Amino acid sequence: MQLTSSDEKKDKLISLKEAGKWASHYLKRTVTVSNISYLIQYGRIKRYGNNGTPLIDVKELKDYYDSFTKEKEWKKILGDDLNWHLSFTEYRETERTKHVHRLHPYKGKFIPQLVEYFLDSHTDEFKREVFFDKEDIILDPFCGSGTTLVQANELGMHAIGADISSFNAMISNVKIAKYDLSLFEETMNILSSKLEIFQKKQTNKAFEEHLLSEIAKFNARYFPSPEYKRKVRNNEINEKEYAKEKEEVFSKIYSSLVKKYKIRIRQDKDESFLDKWFLAPARKEMDFLYDEIRKIKNPGIKKILSAVFSRTVRSCRATTHADLATLKEPVTAAYYCKKHGKICKPIFSITGWWKRYGTDTLNRLREFDRLRTDTYQVCFPGDSRKINITEEIQKINPLFAEILSKKKIKGIFSSPPYVGLINYHEQHAYAYEIFRFERKDESEIGPLFMGKGKEARESYTRGIAQVLNNCKNYLQDDYHVFLVANDKCDLYPKIAELAGMRIINRFKRPVLNRVEKNRSAYAETIFHLREK
């Protein structure tokens, strides 16, 4: 019997479980059923099958994955010296954000596997040299969110961090601290109950439930998933025109609900970040919860709760889902979400995020507790160009200071700021207002406001060299320095010269999982420096 085209298609269809196994073998890394479901949900591949049993075409799946096979293409663009092994493509997203590394978002951090590769003392077929050993002291003078400190702990090494941002120092120290997790869970539950009681007294709860119901019905009718997303990808629908038309239709429904429940959307003032970027109902809950956190007596529990609160607040800014990393304009009404391909709404209540992040934080702390070693890590706020590391450690931890005086620091692993790329204070502007931290924007090296011109590049070069020269006062003679940078302006040879160092090796790695979801070819270099 001759097969029809539909029969031929049926022979190529496989279940999600089979697809996961096939993809895992094809990509040489674990691909789960959830990963395959995500591709269907977001219209990357088409769903087949009936009676609630989804099937997919293995050829479509192969074509999708082949479109992301970038090694040959990227090497043509970025050069044959691209070290693809350092792309760490074999690691799933959950592994790249393991345990406390995802306690709080931070734009510009590197993945823990990169730190492991250079700090870990074991060798493999790709890494022949051993640079550090257990119980060595590692320094990160641009600590950011503490990735180096956390991995040093996991690998049995001591670590010191410094950062010009007080908020960065707070988050780094929160990640590596030890907590009474039973007390944290108990306190978290008490605060959640208080917040729910407070929320019930507000009018926005019933409004939001009604709004969500209307959004669900509207999206099911006009933005069915995954059919709508697939049609957009195949250019069967003009997304811009269609979305604008439907957004205008839903705006009438939204306005009527706001009027019915008498919801006050905007705050009375528009003077500060907290005034501008949060809707009035969410701000009320924020103020209530912050006052409750301030009453906590245990300093460690207060700090970790503050981190959960900061993470919650960040997720509740009045912005679109697509603009979380870079804010544009406050959103005060339901809108078409390009990221999700449907109508979404701004945040009116922080309660759901608070509870979700509390549970997530508890689980991540427990996971890290199973891996942590009995070593010292600490980060202090300050300017690495002039900070006295010995004095700062002595103030915080005399036992660690004693180890430091005997051993000195073996080396540095850090990612300095890039020239004119990120406003490191502004990305957490809400936290500076909440916790009343002093902002030191003018002390940033390579700040966004200076741009990328000649003066900015020269200032950056001097700044990084000054940091290295100051750090050398605390390093062993036989030190190793690793700096992660995208050096488009070729500044690091001059930086090394000014610091009395020499670049002995460069490791150029592709960056495949950028925060901005930019899929263009991009690489960064790990510079290995030693004494000149």
Q: Which regions of the chain carry the CATH code 3.40.50.150?
A: 75-166+374-432+439-531
Strands 158-163 and 137-140: parallel
Strands 409-414 and 137-140: parallel
Which range (58-67, 209-218, 315-324) has the least confidence?
58-67
Q: Is the pLDDT of residue 132 over 50?
A: yes
Mean pLDDT of 349-355: 96
Vertex 45, ends 43 and 47: CA angle to 5°?
90
Half-sphere exposure (Cβ direction) of 42: Cα atoms closer than 13 Å:
11
Q: Distance between CA 133 and CA 476 in Å, rounded?
A: 14
Q: Distance between CA 260 and CA 255 in Å, rounded?
A: 9
Q: Is the pLDDT of residue 139 over 90?
A: yes
Q: Give the model's pLDDT for residue 127.
A: 57
Alpha helices in 408-510 (DSSP H): 429-435, 454-471, 492-498
Q: Is the pLDDT of residue 209 over 60?
A: yes
Q: Is the pLDDT of residue 370 over 50?
A: yes
pTM across the whole model? 0.85
Tell the burial category of 200 from Cβ atoms under 10 Å away from its Cβ (0-12, 13-18, 19+): exposed
Q: How far is CA 360 from CA 91, 102, 142, 176, 308, in A?
A: 20, 9, 27, 16, 9
Q: How many CB atoms lie within 10 A of CB 25?
A: 10
Structure tokens of 143?
Answer: 């600590």
Mean pLDDT of 107-126: 81
Q: Give the model's pLDDT for residue 109.
A: 85
Q: Give the model's pLDDT for residue 506.
A: 95
Q: Give the model's pLDDT for residue 524.
A: 94
Q: Give φ, ψ of 237 to 5 degrees.
A: -130, 135
Q: Is the pLDDT of residue 51 over 70?
A: no
pLDDT tens digits along 87-100? 887 787 888 899 99
pLDDT tens digits along 154-187? 999 999 999 999 999 999 999 999 999 999 999 9
Tell whether domain 75-166+374-432+439-531 is in CATH 3.40.50.150.
Answer: yes
